[in-house]
Amino acid sequence: MASLYVSEIEAATKGFGILLIFVFILYKFLINKKPSRPDNQLKLPPGPRPWPLVGNLHQLGHLPHQSLAELAKKYGNIVFLRLGSVPTVVISSPAMAKEFLKTHDSVFASRPPVSAAKYLFYDHRDVTFARYGEYWRQMRKLCTVELLTAKRVDSFRSVREEEASAMIHSIWEQSGQGLNCVDLKKNLSCLTRNITCRMFSSRTYSDDDLGGGHVFKEMVDEMFTLAGAFCINDYIPWLSCLDLQGIRRRLQAVHKIYDAFAEKVIEEHVKGRKKPYQVEDQVKDMVDVLLDMAELDTQTPTEMQITRVHIKAIILDMLNAGIETSSTTVEWAMSEVLGNPHILARAQQEIESVVGRDRKVKEDDVASFDYLRCIVKETFRLHPPFPLLIPHESMEGCNVGDYYVPPKTRVFINVWAMGRDGSIWEDPYEFNPERFMGKGNSKDVRGQDFDLLPFGTGRRGCPGILMGLSVVELALAQLLHCFHWSVEGKVNMDEIFGLTVPRKFPLLARPASKLPFQYLI
């Protein structure tokens, strides 16, 4: 998948040499000016001195989460930066994360304005990027009360199991029945894409489902790439008219494609609603649930009327949050397990002791896989889906600990750095699922323990935690139970940066049958 990295900043700023001469005069008064604050407020957090125009952008490098972790070692667990003209705070400890996401959660519950939210997500009309306020509260309530409840997530259990079985069959066929290596990322992305689509639309989508020759997978990949792209316009706003990186143009282009796709999905459902369900207790997909609510609103008006824009924005959130995050997590888990044969053997032994070799794993079985669930937690620790979470923004000035955070400050929570902090974790760079074994070592990944926050927490915590965990645990269990795995040489663990942090190179591994053939076809 194509990605836009922070290295594009360097290319975008090469032509600024002449401008820097003029900007330097303004620098003393604008860029480098300390934010004003009342006399009774505390000092700003420490941080490196910014450059003219670009601020501290040049210090982010190709892997910002790693660069920011290094800055934290020098300046502390709360660092103040200027990214272009945007005041920014980076948090790298559980104690400070608790201050921002719990103690002062109401102050930092908003999202900053970014190009992706404006041009792709219907001008902040989705849940993920919506600014904090009544609109966001209604949209969040819609998701948590109607779409992502435990009951509804469980209602799609058969979908997850069917698609996981289809993935196993596909892997076996692609490998020539165990003769060749397969690209696990490709198969895992297909798995999560199909599950997500069936949840909101009761069907999967192939290359022929979009007009104009556009492929569904390419559309999804482009949306996810652009949602995580580092857009210089977001940090140096007066350059936005130039669109130096071409991101705005690409956002508008893919939004047009997506909008046509979403309209098609909604129209299919509207037409289908005129026909009776073939099965009386058929599970309704999420678009049908939303259309039910929209019809109810016309009869009994509520606080927020559900429109097509709302439905399209929610579908878009599901596509972006439900596909890449889960597939990337499982691929990292497999990478770590295949690099540690003793962990692989223990996990397979645990699964076989519960399931045996005469069937595949069912979702009900996962609750008995204590060690496998520890593998998932350890994967989240070392490879969180969003290494900096989705950025927050302060709605007013606030004293946090010993420091003052100005209004409209962008806040990054570096959970990647927290997962590698030696003051929190013993042997932090070692992949060791055993650290989570036993009652005294149990950690919760759902936002209760601030040293392990893969899904965030507080008001802006991910509402789809239960769904994400269900997909990750089932997919990993199926891969480990159905096959013996081998790789050539040492597993490369290099990563690249985006909205998530996937592997730099695909994980190629060769499966060998562990179950009787009839369970693989």
Please write the tens of the pLDDT for every residue from 395-416: 999 999 999 999 999 999 999 9
- For residue 6, the Cα-to-chain-centroid distance in whole angstroms is 18
Can you tell me the distance from the alpha carbon of 91 to that of 416, in angstroms, rounded to the nearest whole number? 11
Tokens of 391: 């950025």
Q: Does residue 30 form part of some domain?
A: no
pLDDT digits (tens, 9 = 90+) for 55-75: 999 999 999 999 999 999 999
Global pTM reads 0.90
What mean pLDDT is reported for the chain? 89
- Residue pair 455/468 in contact (Cβ under 8 Å)? The answer is yes
Given this model, what pLDDT does residue 295 score? 86
79 torsion bin: left (phi>0), alpha (psi -120 to 50), beta (else): beta
Can you tell me the distance from the alpha carbon of 483 to that of 478, in angstroms, rounded to the nearest whole number? 8
**Residue 345: domain span:** 57-519
- Residue pair 148/318 in contact (Cβ under 8 Å)? The answer is no
Short-list 81, 45, 87, CA closest to 60: 81
| Residue 143 is labelled as binding a ligand | no
Least confident of 27-31, 86-90, 101-105, 362-366: 27-31
- Residue pair 447/460 in contact (Cβ under 8 Å)? The answer is no
Within 8 A by CB and 6+ apart from 484, the residues are: 511, 512, 513, 514
Short-list 159, 123, 133, 476, CA closest to 327: 476
User: What is the CB-side half-sphere exposure of residue 457 using CA atoms within 13 A?
Assistant: 22
Given this model, what pLDDT does residue 57 score? 95
pLDDT digits (tens, 9 = 90+) for 463-484: 999 999 999 999 999 999 999 9
Given this model, what pLDDT does residue 13 score? 38
Can you tell me the distance from the alpha carbon of 320 to that of 318, in angstroms, rounded to the nearest whole number? 6
* Backbone phi and psi for residue 411, each to the nearest 5 degrees, phi listed first: -125, 125
Q: Does residue 23 form part of some domain?
A: no
Q: Does residue 10 form part of some domain?
A: no
Is the pLDDT confidence value at 507 over 80? yes
pLDDT digits (tens, 9 = 90+) for 219-263: 988 998 898 888 999 999 998 889 989 999 999 999 999 999 999
Q: Does residue 24 form part of some domain?
A: no
Tokens of 412: 């990054």
- Cβ neighbours of 473 (radius 10 Å): 23
Query: Inter-axis angle of helices 308-322 and 134-142, to 10 degrees?
Result: 70
pLDDT band at 487 (very low <50, low <70, confident <90, very high): very high
**Three-state DSSP state, 398:** strand
Q: Does residue 46 form part of some domain?
A: no
Within 8 A by CB and 6+ apart from 102, the residues are: 450, 457, 458
Q: Does residue 403 form part of some domain?
A: yes
Q: Does residue 119 form part of some domain?
A: yes
Short-list 452, 502, 417, CA closest to 68: 417
Q: Does residue 145 form part of some domain?
A: yes
User: What is the CB-side half-sphere exposure of residue 371 using CA atoms within 13 A?
Assistant: 17
What is the count of structural domains for the chain? Answer: 1
Query: For residue 88, what is the domain's CATH number?
Result: 1.10.630.10
